[in-house]
Structure 1
Amino acid sequence: MQKIIAALCIFLWGNASIKAQSETFNPEVKKYFLITYATKNYEAAFHHANDISKKLALKLDLRELQAYDKTLGLTWAASICEGDGWEYPCYIPRGRYDDGIYVSIEWSDGYKNFSKGYYIVMVASTQNFDKDLKKLLNHVQTHIPDAYIKSSMIYMGCMH
């Protein structure tokens, strides 16, 4: 009888361990981005972002990012990077706790499954692909017919 109880305990403990491993926390979340423009030229992206911000009456939020170079894209100033404990240059993509409607320029290399090396002009980011996002896309497309929605997994875990 003790052997049966011991075997049952081992079996139950083993299954609980397997279940716990399969339910691990995923630090990435799928986000959706409304994109109006992509270019390898920062000045062209900046001009487009300013223009679409005025046309749509949306805040231009560049997050104090600066063009760094053609291979590393965007970064914050060295003082900001180092002040947050990161090496310079540093860039964190939109989508980390800052969902909303805005106009910004982002660096495509920061997003999984985006073509690399592009400055992208975004009008919104959200975790939900819903009727509100589709309605916004339809409105934006009255000014920018080529605007589209693209998704990417965004890392939401600790950055230090």
Structure 2
Amino acid sequence: MAVSPPFWAVWTDVLWCLGIGLCIAAGRSALELLFGEGRFAGLILDLLSFAAAAVAVCGFAAELSASGTARWYMAAAMGTGALGWQITAAPVLRRGMHFLLKMLAMPLRWSEKRIAGPVKAWFCRKISGIVQRAKEHKRLKKRKKQKKMLQNAKRILYN
């Protein structure tokens, strides 16, 4: 069993792991903005985040930790850092991206409302008029045709 490190070394490890957890959560949020928030994408991003956290805690413990082994408080600090990101920064980031996309789409919405909408309405009126005229023409054409008179069954002539 490894010897417990001094108190100041534990708090140094905790601060490092808080930062690492925050960075992992920030990376997950960035990938979530890139790939979307669906069920499948969320599952894949969660699995990648857990794998990255496991690799990070083992790498940190081997390289920078005072004790040289992975300890429970390192995992807890990473989880706390990730939770802190999800509570504080992730909603602000989502709202900011939503606002940015809304501002970028504003000229498109304006052009759709002022240009494409009236053109579409005019085009639909023209097309519906053409369709109505074609139906009327077809109806009149059917009416003009007279019924063919068939021969009487008794008088059928054969060649």
TM class by shorter chain equals under 0.3
Q: Which has the higher contact order (CA 8 A, sep 6+)?
A: 1
Q: TM-score normalized by structure 1? A: 0.25
Q: TM-score normalized by structure 2? A: 0.25
> Relative to total residues, which structure has the larger strand share, 1 or 2?
1
Larger Rg: 2
